Amino acid sequence: METKPYSVFGEEWLIRKDDEVNLLVSKCKGCGSQWFPQKEICPTCFSQEREIVPLEGEGEIYSYTTLTVTSKRFQAPLNIAYVDYPGDVRVCGQIVGDDIQIGKKAKLIFDKIAQEKDGTDVFSYKFKVE
């Protein structure tokens, strides 16, 4: 499968091997809070000391919605979710699956998320309900 990294989330944002993907979060050395997308300055304690670490643990759906109107790059209807991870990390992304519900486990996958005007498929992380 030929893939093109999503322009916002390149190699500094995720680790990928074939269809498996994990995200890289910023972890504050001051207070330990973790963020995705990564932050240069910790929004909690304003420390600039951070390290980039892989996201750990299982994701659980905090909330989700279905978009019925999207820009032309995306195909509606499109489900978007906030997924919570251990360490108070909340990640937003597209979600797929037949039974999307708050509280269910969600797994990160690497899949098509959009299509450019020239027909190029854009791949990145998304969630799949387990």
Closest to Zn ion by CB, 50 or 126:
50
- Residue 28 in contact with Zn ion, rule: CB under 5 A: yes
Closest to Zn ion by CB, 28 or 129:
28
- Residue 81 in contact with Zn ion, rule: CB under 5 A: no
Residue found under tokens 């240069």? 40
* Alpha carbon of residue 79 to chain centroid: 13
Q: Tell me how long the chain is.
A: 130
Encoded amino acid at 124, one letter: S
For Zn ion, what does the binding mask look like between residues 41 and 70, x meaning CB under 5 A? -x-xx-x-----------------------
Closest to Zn ion by CB, 45 or 76:
45
Residue found under tokens 């909340």? 90
